[in-house]
Amino acid sequence: MTAATDFDRPATAPAFQQLSGARKAKNRIATVLVGATFVLALVPLVWLLVTVISKGFEHVLNGDWWQKSLAGLTSRQFGGGVYHAILGTLLQGLVCAVIAVPIAIMVAIYLVEYGKRSRLAKAVTFTVDILSGVPSIVAALFIYALWITTMGQPRSAFAVSLALVLLMIPVVVRTTEELLKIVPDELREAAYALGIPKWKTIVKIVIPTAMSGIITGISLAIARVMGETAPVLVLVGYTTFINYNPFGGSMASLPLLMTSERLTTNEVGEARVWGAAVTLILIITVFNLLGSLISKMTSLKTK
Amino acid sequence: MSDPVSVERPVTRNGSRGGSASTSDAEAKISSNVQGAGGPPTGTTAPAKVITRPGDRIFKALTVGSGVFVVVMIALIGIFLLIQAIPSLTENKANFLFSRDWSADPADLAFGVLDLLLVTVFSSVFALLIAMPVSLGIALFLTQYAPRKLARPFAYVIDLLAAVPSIIYGLWGAYVLAPAMGPFTKWLNDTLGFIPIFAKGSSDLGIGQTIFTAGIVLAVMLLPIITAISREVFDRTPPMQVEGALALGATKWEVVRTTVLPFGKAGYISASMLGLGRALGETIAVLIILSATTQHFSWTLFDGGDTIASKIARAAQEFNDPRGAGAYIAAGLVLFVLTFVVNAFARAIIAGHKEYE
Amino acid sequence: MNIKRHASVLSLIAVGALALTACGSDSNTPAGSNNSAAPAPTKTAEVECGGKKDLVAEGSSAQKGAIEAFTAAYVAKCPGQQLAYTPSGSGAGVKQFNAGIVDIGGSDSALNKDKGEVDAAATRCKSNPAWNLPLVFGPVGIAYKVDGVKDLVLTPEVTAKIFNGGIAKWNDPAIAAVNKGATLPDTAIIVIFRADESGTTDNFQKYLKASAKDAWGKDAGKKFNGGVGQGAQGSAGIADAISAGNGTIGYIEWSYVQDKKLSAAKIDSGAGPVELGAEGAAAAIKSAKIKGTGNDLVIDLDALYASKTAGAYPLVLATYEIVCSKGYDADTAKAVKAFLTTAATDGQAALADAGYVPLPNEFQEKLLTAIKAIS
């Protein structure tokens, strides 16, 4: 293993020099240790995935799993499915995206196209940084304090979506901001030269250029918020029935189903919990893949 | 040229949460420099300004409004939590910051956050101490050691750790990892029990619902966060420095030690602080793993207990009386301030480093 | 061009989402068991279906299984109606009921006047009293896991001392004295208790107070006062912790003992050891008396807990549905009555299988009278 082959930038290693044994040993130890940390990180990942799949995969193979709820089944009866929870997870994620994405994109446009280095832009950048570090339980508490205590609204899936908005905005702002910066200034200048107003330039030229990346970012952000558990614990009740109404009543979601069915201590409960875990991972994977797929399908072919 | 690649890159970076966060500041500066030189001028003499139409004004107002909205939002979080907490705090019979007992019974409010805060910080710092060296190794491996072709797929695998929802970490930690660690923690307790942090705590080691288990699971959750940002920074080590070191006959490790590490140190520390912020606020995994206890935290890894976040989540179903909920909201406010400070500190570290641009 | 492509992708997603929402179903036919020789339904009644479509209830985790059985019966009896039950604990159930968030509160203890629960409930019911309806009876098991120990027998005194720290090892002479011939290991006793406020804890401590007298020496209450051991969230948490450890012991409802396949101690109140089960519990319930007034059917458990009847398993939990006597809107009242009527009649059939004891006949009569009076 010659040292430098992995660098594509530097020149070849000074092979003519004699290295002292101690330096060689140190180098070798460092290499082994660094490689070992990577392997070490794989251990929990593999262990976790194997656990989830071995405990839950068989349950999701059943067609009912994807089409039925757990309505009318006691905690001792196998059968039914998690359709109600999948629906809730998707619904809460999509409602959240519908609110969060426009705001986030506008913030990103402000930062890149208008704010530049103004004081407000700095404040916004700082805020987005802080917002990305706000724990989900704090976001949930805030919505609880605002939406439920102050405004007197009932606990509902919509409240969950509002809390998720707080978690989603910083992620989408970040992605969009970076992508907008990459859009070549020549495009903007060309548009201005044709007398196109700035806002039209942004909407018709800048955004479409960055669109594929933005969509990827959005789907990744949705995948992220769909796995959040703290907001659903605080802001909505669990039910085994299908609920299409985000504004009222209890609504299941996969994380909420897992925390609720965890209280069923028999094999039925275990099947539901781990089956839901597999389902959640599958859905998150689909959203991640969807992101890169859309990116590939819609990306601009620049040569 | 390589345009498609440069369009793709930030996207993959964003696959890890907050992975891109530290670099964007840097890039903001780059791009604004570029635009200052050749981009659409925005100064007072800008030709673009000549054509200011209603559409422009409305659109700009919308974007500014969104920006202000986000700033107001963060202020609102603090304000609303404070408003909801104050009535409970005034009725609180215990010292909120220094009492170690928690009773949020609306008729008899006597809650103190100290014990929760100690467990929160203790478990997070423990997780950080495990995650920091490992992430450093991974980041070095991915940027310096891994074969160039494999670096990206390897990085993707590490990012997968961030894609797993925390509830699944919690289930794995509580039902698989905790029992598996029993023999190891017993050995630690037997041989190193004289050191306070390995002393016997309130949680049985065979069951394993300890801060130790929770800390390890938290550490795994931090790995992708710290790694992603450190990787970005290490990647920016100036090639000149690396080549210089090589020219002087340095071994690979010496190159890393003399160029990459000094260059990336601040970024690595910032990344670790961001990770700490994440660990402090982690809720459901800790909730599932830790056993509840009525005893005070005794500075050992083998205690049970509750972090601020897990305590709030445990009581979440009982939020109905405004004063009872107010006690938990007060605790949430402490967590908010704590993560705010840690995150702001992390950003401040990296903001002072122009060389990361 | 680009926009069109995006539009097509987005519409694809939209169509996919629509297709998904179109195929879900709430109708389930349970697979698996539940067809064993269940005791015949004690009584069926005419149920007037209708009213509010989705009832919300919350409370005791001890009656989770029973409510599930009731809901299954309710859904079968009144198609299209539903009830969502959140098993978050009795404390939460009472609070949520009094706050008007749920229609029915589930609690292991009747509303407590001293704590202002009775008044709060009256306010919630628009100045009408709330009633405690004991719809679910279930024995509480003292579950344990000690390698090599089976058929553990405990007296109230020994139980009390284990749970207040007076006995710390499994081979303590006091335990050996009531388990003649058993080999008890020199393992530490790990008491697992409910960390959350719980009616099960309240009843367990009431039982210890009533039956073990001075040996317990602590108060009852929804918080565990024993001062030893390790906390766990909910009965499920206790069951998990007991089965994960060695030398563990805790108190959980029978259904959790069955679900987790744990061993439960026999209780010897002076007339010989009695096994945890429906038979012993039913024998004990007969000695219970009602102390509430009118249709408020609060049960006096002290007599039951102190009873030394042969063949009776006295550690029994009576859990209540807390409802408004009046003050619901018409829709809700109709649905609540329909649900409770089904629960008290058809719903009883599946109870024994779920780890509960079906209602004795005289109780059922009183309950149906009370349910009928709700308006």
The structure tokens 């190794």 sit at B137
Residues 51-90 of chain C with CB under 8 A from chain A are 54, 56, 58, 61, 64-65, 68-69, 71-72, 75-76, 82, 84, 86-87
Residues facing residue C139 across a β-bridge: C316
pLDDT value, residue C128: 92
Of C99, C227, C232, the CB nearest to B291: C232
C6, C63, C253, best to mutate vs chain A, most A CBs in 10 Å: C6
Strand partners, C324: C130
pLDDT of the residue at A183: 93
Instruction: Give me the residues paired with residue C54 across strands.
Output: C82
Q: In b/e form, how buried is each residue of C197-230, taking b as 16+ CB within 10 angstroms?
A: bbbbbbbbbbbbbbbbeebbeeebebbbbbebbb
Interface contact flag, C245 B207, Cβ < 8 Å: yes
CA dist B291 and B338 (Å) reads 24
Q: Please judge whether A70 and C28 are an interchain contact, meaning their C-beta atoms are less than 8 angstroms apart.
A: yes
Q: Where residue A16 falls among pLDDT bands split at 50, 70, 90?
A: low
- The residues of B whose Cβ lies within 8 A of any Cβ of C are 107, 174-175, 178-179, 202-204, 206-209, 287, 291-294, 304, 314, 317-318, 320-321, 324
Among A258, C55, A29, smallest CA distance to B174 is for A258
Say what the pLDDT of residue C37 is. 36
Which residues share a beta bridge with C230? Answer: C192
Other CB atoms closer than 10 Å to residue C126's CB: what's the count? 12
Above 60 in pLDDT, residue B140?
yes
| Residue A3 pLDDT greater than 80, yes or no | no
Comparing C-alpha atoms, which of C206, C224, C210 is closest to residue C164? C224
Which residues, listed in sequence order, are joined to residue C59 by a DSSP beta bridge?
Answer: C106
Tell me whether A121 touches chain C (CB under 8 Å).
no
**What is the pLDDT at residue C113?**
85
Contact C230 B178 (CB under 8 A): no
Which residue(s) pair with C104 in the sheet?
C57
Residue from A8, A132, A141 to probe the interface with B (highest B Cβ count within 10 Å): A141
**Contacts for A165 with CB less than 8 Å, ≥ 6 apart:** A96, A99, A100, A103
CA atoms of C236 and C89, how far apart (whole Å): 12
d(CA C355, CA C143): 14
pLDDT for B11 equals 38
H-helix or E-strand spanning residue B103 = strand B102-105
Structural contact between residues A86 and A283, judged by C-beta atoms closer than 8 angstroms = yes
């805030």: which residue's tokens? A142
Residues 197-256 of A with CB under 8 A from C: 208, 211, 215, 237-244, 249-250
Nearest CA in chain C to A94: C17
C-chain residues near B324 (CB < 8 A): 95
Do residues C182 and C176 lie in contact, with contact meaning Cβ atoms separated by under 8 Å? yes
From B178, B179, B321, residue closest to C95, measured CB to CB:
B321
Average pLDDT, chain B: 85
Q: Across the interface, do A216 and B11 touch by the CB < 8 Å criterion? A: yes
Gap from C23 CA to chain A (nearest CA, Å)? 6
Contact list in B for residue A140 (CB cut-off 8 A) is 316
Q: Give the chain B residue whose CA is nearest to the CA of A147.
A: B80
d(CA C233, CA C249): 15
pLDDT at C375: 83
pTM of the predicted model as reported, rounded to 2 decimal places: 0.85
What are B173's two structure tokens? 């930690």
CB pairs under 8 A between A and C: 139
pLDDT for B20 equals 39
pLDDT at B18 over 70: no
Listed in sequence order, the residues at least 6 apart from C4 whose beta carbon sits closer than 8 Å to its beta carbon are none
Residues of chain C below pLDDT 50: 1, 32-41
Give the separation between CA B346 and CA A185, rounded to whole angstroms: 32
* Residue C355 contacts residue C253 (beta carbons within 8 Å): yes
Taking an 8 Å cut-off on Cβ atoms, the answer to whether C115 and B107 are in contact is yes
The pLDDT, as a whole number, for residue C31 is 54
Task: Answer positive or negative: Cα dihedral of B137, B142, B144, B147.
Answer: positive
Domain ranges within chain C, ordered by starting residue: 3-138+289-301+316-373, 140-284
Is A142 in contact with A188 (CB distance < 8 Å)? no
- Residue to mutate among B294, B296, B319, with most C CBs inside 10 A, is B294
pLDDT band at A263 (very low <50, low <70, confident <90, very high): confident
* Poorest-pLDDT segment among B163-172, B299-308, C73-82, C359-368: C359-368
Would you call C14 an interface residue with chain A, using a CB distance cutoff of 8 Å? no
CATH number of C3-138+289-301+316-373: 3.40.190.10
Name subunits touching A (3+ CB pairs < 8 A): B, C
Angle at C216 between CA C60 and CA C236, to 5 degrees: 30
For the stretch B221-246, pLDDT in tens is 999 999 999 999 999 999 999 999 99
Q: Which of B2, B22, B99 is nearest to B270 (CA)?
A: B22
Q: How many angstroms separate the CA atoms of A231 and A241, rounded?
A: 20
A292, burial (CB in 10 Å: exposed 0-12, middle 13-18, buried 19+): middle
What average pLDDT does chain A have? 90
Q: Who has greater pLDDT, B77 or A293?
A: B77
The whole-number pLDDT of residue A287 equals: 92
Under a CB-based contact definition with an 8 Å cutoff, are residues A130 and B343 in contact? yes
Nearest CB neighbour to C230, from listed B293, B320, B321: B293
* Percent of chain B topping pLDDT 90: 70
pLDDT at residue B7 in the model: 37
Judge if C3-138+289-301+316-373 and C140-284 fold alike in CATH terms.
yes
Tell me the per-residue pLDDT of A61-96, one tens digit each, with 9 for 90 and over: 988 999 999 988 888 888 899 999 999 999 999 999
> Which of chain C's residues have a Cβ under 8 Å away from the Cβ of A258?
none
Between CA C3 and CA C8 the distance in angstroms is 9
Nearest residue in chain C measured CA to CA from A250: C84
pLDDT at residue A15, rounded to an integer: 56
Q: Which of residues 227-286 of B touch A (CB under 8 A)?
A: 227, 239, 242-243, 246-247, 249, 251-254, 256, 274, 277-278, 280-284
- Candidate from B168, B171, B343 with C-beta closest to A129: B343
Q: Does B163 score more than 50 pLDDT?
A: yes
Q: How is residue A25 written in tokens?
A: 């040993």
Reading the block at residue B124, the tokens are 């997070």
Sign of CA dihedral A42, A45, A135, A171: positive
Instruction: Please state, rounded to an integer, the average pLDDT across all residues of chain C.
Output: 85
pLDDT of residue C294: 83
Q: Chain C within 8 Å of A298 (Cβ-Cβ)?
A: yes
pLDDT digits (tens, 9 = 90+) for B77-130: 999 999 999 999 999 999 999 999 898 877 788 999 999 999 999 999 999 999
Query: Per-residue pLDDT tens for C315-329?
Result: 998 889 999 999 999
Predicted confidence at residue B137, as pLDDT, reads 97
**Distance (Å) from the C-alpha of residue C344 to the closest C-alpha of chain A?**
17
CATH code for the structural domain at C140-284: 3.40.190.10
C84/A211 touch (CB, cutoff 8 Å), yes or no: no
CB-nearest to B62 from A41, A106, A181 is A106
Tokens 């990346």 correspond to what residue? A213
Instruction: Give me the pLDDT at residue A13, please.
Output: 57
What's the gap between Cα B255 and its chain centre?
29
Q: Tokens for C12? A: 């694809």
Residue C346 burial by Cβ neighbours in a 10 Å radius (0-12, 13-18, 19+): buried
- B11, B32, B58: best to mutate for the A interface, most A CBs within 10 A: B11
* Chain B positions in Cβ-Cβ contact with residue C95 (cut-off 8 Å): 318, 320-321, 324
Average pLDDT, integer, range B191-219: 92
Indicate whether A280 pLDDT > 90: yes
Find which of A68, A70, A76 to mutate to test the C interface (most C CBs within 10 Å of its CB): A76
- With 90 as the cut, is the pLDDT of residue A107 above it? yes
Which residues, in sequence order, are bridge partners of residue C198? Answer: none
pLDDT at B25 (0 to 100): 41
Q: For chain B, which chains pass the contact test of at least 3 CB pairs under 8 Å?
A: A, C
Label residue A144 by pLDDT band (50, 70, 90): very high
CB contact under 8 A, A298 and C240: no
Nearest to B52 by CA among A196, A189, A117: A196
What does the longest C-alpha to C-alpha distance in chain C come to?
87
B136 touches A: beta carbon within 8 Å? yes
Which residues of chain B make contact with A202, given a CB cutoff of 8 A?
Answer: 59
pLDDT category of residue A10 using cuts at 50, 70 and 90: low
Closest approach of chain A CAs to the CA of C239, in angstroms? 7
Report the number of secondary-structure helices (H) and strands (E) in chain B: 14, 2
Residue B308 · residue B337 · CB < 8 Å: no
Flag whether pLDDT at B336 surpasses 90: yes
Residues whose CB is less than 8 angstroms from the CB of residue B191 and which lie 6 or more positions away in sequence, other chains included:
none
Q: Testing the interface with C: which of A62, A67, A77 to mutate, by most C Cβ within 10 A?
A: A77
Return the pLDDT at C9: 59
A·B CB contacts under 8 A: 367
Q: How far is CA A295 from the centre of its chain?
A: 16
With beta carbons less than 8 A apart as the criterion, state whether B278 and B224 touch. no
| Minimum CA–CA partner of C96 in chain B | B320
